[in-house]
Amino acid sequence: MLVIVAPGQGAQSPGFLTPWLEDRTFASRFHWLSTVAGLDLVHHGTESDAETIRDTQVAQPLLVATGLVAALELFPHPADAFSQIGAVAGHSVGELTAAAGARVITAEQAMVLVRERGKAMAEAAAATPTGMTAVLGGDRDEVLAAIDKHGLTAANDNGPGQVVAAGTLEQLEALAADPPAKARLTQLSVAGAFHTEHMAPAVGHLAGLARSVSVHDPRTPVVSNRDGTVVHDGRDVLARIVGQIASPVRWDLCMETMADLGVTGILEMPPAGTLTGIAKRALKGVETFSLKTPDQLDDARAFVDKHGEASPIDTTPTWRMVVSPAKGTFHQSEDAFGRDVLAPGALIGEVETSRARSEIVAPHGGQVVEWLVEDGDIVSPGQPLLRLHPEGAA
């Protein structure tokens, strides 16, 4: 099973876009997304120095545009992707790339949102001197305790031995003076404390814009940064992306879900390397592919063919599926059992995992066609639970 992942801010490097722009089709599409974003992303991806592309307002649109156009190079016939990709996920701003790739939003909507996201996060970062520090190694519990002791937030939890602390510069200096045992601290070159309460003003701005964005349910399961669950409601996907600006990225839980899904191959979109590096350490036995330059495209397509298989979600427009968000035990709601019609937002049950119980609703409602599981069944992430026919559909 193949998972496509998109990196977040920090993956960019000076000139990384140069070989891609030698392809006329890529260049034309990239110019279009640059126009939508209102930025000269071609210049930033080829000529700008490291300090310039570190700017949140530049880095985020640059990353999203690159991932989206490279995906069209990898899958010249986009419909083919849905018969091969088992799930998608993006780290931080990469979630916008993943959402557009899953057809939750359009590429143009993604570029408007990332433009505004970058601006709002830069403004929030300017309000208070904040930053981020990677804490590498050490005992996990001791690392998290040290981060909490100094009033910091574990803004990125990327798996064993890779936690990023974020907060004010004073708090980070205190952590540096009193680090957890056997841990190495590295200050990150970012503009502020992303994925913490310091970004709350940016959430409000983007939430207001998101209310006017039309969405579709994803064609491919989307694994959420918030808690690693599989999300199959378009509005929920977008809401989670907005809220994620000020809440921690749980990439460790995303990888747990990938393992539960039965992933055999992970392909990272350009500028690649960060997420596949993490996967090599955390998901032993899973093959990875870092798509960095266009001369790798043939090998990347061979990798897709080797690992690709369709997700279990039925994408026939006349049906709607309600799917499981995680691996666990399904408990059916007594109110939903035996009903012929479910109202929008009706609770159909819960999935009990080792961490929590997650409520499952039928976002759109509709006529019950068939239950695909029974009370007490063990379910996997993204597994269809209930098939509905939208009320009023022909």
Q: Are residues 275 and 202 in the same domain?
A: yes
**pLDDT at residue 322, as a whole number:** 92
Q: How far, in Å, CA of 19 to CA of 17, rounded?
A: 6
Percent of the chain beyond pLDDT 90? 87
Peptide bond into 179 cis (omega under 30): no
Q: Are residues 135 and 256 in the same domain?
A: no
Confirm whether 195 is a catalytic residue: yes
pLDDT in tens, 243-282: 999 999 999 999 999 999 999 999 999 999 999 999 999 9
Task: Tell me, yes or no, whether 82 lies in a domain.
Answer: yes
Q: Are residues 221 and 110 in the same domain?
A: yes
Q: Are residues 379 and 256 in the same domain?
A: no
Average pLDDT, the chain: 93
Task: Tell me, yes or no, whether 241 lies in a domain.
Answer: yes
Tokens 């990938």 appear where? Answer: 258
The residue among 251, 273, 307 that closes a domain is 307
Q: How far, in Å, CA of 270 to CA of 62, rounded?
A: 11
Q: Are residues 336 and 221 in the same domain?
A: no
Task: Tell me, yes or no, whether 394 lies in a domain.
Answer: no
The residue among 282, 307, 332 that closes a domain is 307
Tokens 């034309």 appear where? Answer: 28
Task: Tell me, yes or no, whether 192 lies in a domain.
Answer: no
When pLDDT is averaged across residues 319-330 and rounded to a whole number, the result is: 91
Task: Tell me, yes or no, whether 312 lies in a domain.
Answer: no
CATH number of the domain where residue 358 is located? 2.40.50.100
Q: How far, in Å, CA of 168 to CA of 117, rounded?
A: 21
Q: Are residues 164 and 279 in the same domain?
A: no
- End-to-end Cα spacing for the chain: 34
The single residue of 34, 48, 91, 92 carrying the catalytic annotation is: 92
Q: Are residues 9 and 118 in the same domain?
A: yes
**pLDDT at residue 315, as a whole number:** 55
How many CB atoms sit inside 10 A of residue 25's CB?
A: 11
Coil vs helix vs strand at 54: helix
The single residue of 150, 195, 205, 232 carrying the catalytic annotation is: 195
Q: How far, in Å, CA of 7 to CA of 214, rounded?
A: 25
Coil vs helix vs strand at 49: coil
pLDDT in tens, 218-240: 989 999 999 999 998 999 999 99
Q: Are residues 48 and 102 in the same domain?
A: yes
Q: Which of 392, 343, 342 is nearest to 371 (CA)?
A: 342
> Domain range spanning residue 171?
127-187
Q: How far, in Å, CA of 4 to CA of 72, rounded?
A: 13
pLDDT reading at 313 higher than 90:
no
Confirm whether 212 is a catalytic residue: no
Coil vs helix vs strand at 379: strand
pLDDT in tens, 159-171: 888 999 999 999 9
Quote the number of domains for the chain: 3
pLDDT reading at 394 higher than 50:
no
What is the value of pTM for the model shown?
Answer: 0.90
